Amino acid sequence: MTITRFAPSPTGHIHVGNLRTALFNYLIARKAGGSFILRLDDTDRERSKEEYADGIKRDLDWLGLHWDRVERQSLRLDRYAEAADGLRGAGRLYEVFETPTELDLKRKKQLNMGRPPVYDRTGLNLSEAEKQKLRAEGREGYWRFRLDHERIEWTDGILGDISIDAASVSDPVLIRADGQVLYTFASSVDDTDMGVTDIVRGADHVTNTATQIQIIRALGGTPPAFAHHSLLTGAKGEELSKRLGALSIRDLREAGVAPEALLSMMAHLGSSQPVALKTSLDELAAGFDLSHFGASPTKFDAEDLWPLTRELNQSLPFEAVRDRIAALGVPADLAERFWRVASQNITRLEDLADWWRIFHDGAEPQIDPEDAAFVAEALRLLPPPPYTDATWGEWTAEVKAQTGRKGKGLFMPLRKALTGQAHGPDMSEVMPLLQVVRARG
């Protein structure tokens, strides 16, 4: 069975970059009738917060990306210790003692000599007596995985054939001196134990993938099928990573972006298919194929979410918004008309409240100085509410007869006086909704 996973660290709110990873893995599982795991990579005890774990679940639930089960790395520490012991026994995990300063000096020396800054495996050759001496000096040991110096190859679902020389990569640190298990190791153990078959993640993880393939094999597992999607940039190709915090799913939700708009964009962005609104995850899954995606950095502009949100919201049937409209205080006999009138003039559903304020409380009139006398005369001819479907036509005909105005010079000043806006819904539809006309004084 196809098994995928989304493995965020609960150290902050997930953003559009995280969502792309979550959605790709979700759609692969959905299309294959498989299983989608939400795995909270929470081994960082200081930075992991329950509020962020709850926030991740809330964001995914809002998007409809429902998981089949939840796993937490913090509950699997005994399993990681067991796996580490196995790797030590096989000679694949070795203790090292260099400080960050010493490692930095080694890297600089290697670079000055024209060599790649790869860890020199000094720790691999330490005797037990030498280790005891270092500990007596106050040094704390941590653990690296000994890579087999061979080419690590796989066919990436997006990037194609990948080949990395393991000798060009430092033996990765898997366990810190304080005992904290790092992502590279914990994820390899989890993916092996949980039978994960497919992993999609960002292109910045390609080197991690190479080392994890060896770790998974050393654990006795079979590496999943890997794919690495392109990284997002800003609309002009600028680095987006520093802005991702401002593009959190939570903030986009609170701004009024429709979940369908966000999912539709993330499912198509960077692919050969145009971004088009899809209203269901089944529809997205049916057309999803990793082969449609390329390796080039992908431009993302949050402003592009608004046309999709507008398209979605304007297409909603009345039944989908009935309760929201009722909550605004719109009388039941006017509710369906209100939706018909307002729906084609909103982007966010929250914009409905602004339209009801106009109709219920009256708009701040916009009257140009040159139209002041004309509007005053026109309003003198307007009876008080309530109005009917015929009111606008009858009123403007009388105003035209009394003032001689016609066309735009007749209609525009009256629209602005009644609604406070130069554009909007058909005024014959608006009039029966107007409860107050503030311009009447």
Annotation: binding site for ATP: 242
Distances, alpha carbon 221 to alpha carbons 76, 139, 155, 163, in Å = 18, 34, 18, 20
Cα separation, 58 vs 285, whole angstroms: 22
Tokens at residue 401, please?
A: 């007869």
CB 152 within 8 A of CB 166: yes
Task: Calculate the alpha carbon distances from 78 to 46, 58, 85, 291, 309 in Å.
Answer: 19, 29, 11, 39, 46
How far apart, in whole angstroms, are the C-alpha atoms of residue 8 and residue 39? 7
HEC-encoded secondary structure of 160-201: EEEEEEHHHCCCCEEECCCCCECHHHHHHHHHHHCCCCEEEE
Q: What is the DSSP letter of 434?
A: -
What region does 172 belong to: left with phi over 0, alpha with psi -120 to 50, or beta? beta
Residue 181 makes CB contacts below 8 A (sequence gap 6+) with 43, 73, 77, 80, 84, 174, 175
Q: Report d(CA 416, CA 393) in Å as an integer.
A: 16
Q: Who's near 389: CB < 8 A, 6+ residues apart?
A: 428, 429, 431, 432
Take residue 397 and report the two structure tokens written for it. Answer: 């005909």
As given in the structure block, the two tokens for residue 275 are: 């971004």
User: Which of 63, 54, 32, 22 has its CA nearest to residue 262?
Assistant: 63
For the chain, give me the number of helices (H) and strands (E)? 18, 12
- Token duo for residue 99: 């400080």
Strands 142-145 and 173-175 turn out to be antiparallel
- Annotated binding residues: 242
